[in-house]
Amino acid sequence: MTYDRDLTIALDFDGVLHEYKEREENFPTPGGKPVPGAKGAVAWMGQRYNLVIFSARANEPGGVEAIENWLQHWGFPPIPVSLEKPEAAIYVDDRGYRFDGSFNGLLSFLVENPKPGRWEKNA
């Protein structure tokens, strides 16, 4: 199989790489552990694609440095951290909804799942 090294995968930080339930007291410094499997997945993807992290945490004063320090502490390779949504082939986010071109599915989902924050299908 051939992979396209020119493609970028954008990874959200909280909930994708970093275990995150709610805003921590010492925000923007991350206090949680890596999501299980994150280091292996990052290693695999990093050999085949460009990776970039995007996170609302990065917009806080000291946020980019806090993410970079957390990555280093947990033994992740250096990954660029973006303050804005980067151009990417794929966005990996724990709060995302895959839009299929029709608002009908989105509106149905919101009716079935009216609570804000992290949604689980039919939760």
The residue range of the domain holding 104 is 97-123
In this structure, are 88 and 48 located in the same domain?
yes
Residue 62: which CATH number? 3.40.50.1000
| Res. 28 pLDDT band, cuts 50 70 90 | low
Q: How many domains does the chain have?
A: 2
Note whether residue 3 is domain-resident: no
In this structure, are 32 and 60 located in the same domain?
yes
Check: pTM over 0.85? Answer yes or no: no
In this structure, are 103 and 69 located in the same domain?
no
Question: Is the per-residue pLDDT at 54 higher than 80?
Answer: yes
In this structure, are 21 and 66 located in the same domain?
yes
Note whether residue 1 is domain-resident: no
Helix extents (H) in the chain: 38-46, 63-73, 103-112
Question: Is the per-residue pLDDT at 4 higher than 90?
Answer: no
In this structure, are 70 and 103 located in the same domain?
no
Give the residue from 72, 61, 53, 52 showing the smallest Cα distance to 27. 61
In this structure, are 60 and 80 located in the same domain?
yes
Side chain identity, residue 62: G
As to burial, measured by CB atoms within 10 angstroms (0-12 exposed, 13-18 middle, 19+ buried), residue 122 is: exposed
In this structure, are 82 and 62 located in the same domain?
yes
Q: What is the pLDDT of residues 63-102, one digit of tens each?
A: 999 999 999 999 999 999 998 889 999 999 988 888 889 9
Note whether residue 2 is domain-resident: no
Note whether residue 82 is domain-resident: yes
As to burial, measured by CB atoms within 10 angstroms (0-12 exposed, 13-18 middle, 19+ buried), residue 57 is: buried
Beta bridge partners, 81, equal 53
Least confident of 21-25, 42-46, 68-72: 21-25
Residue 41 to residue 32: CA distance in whole angstroms: 18
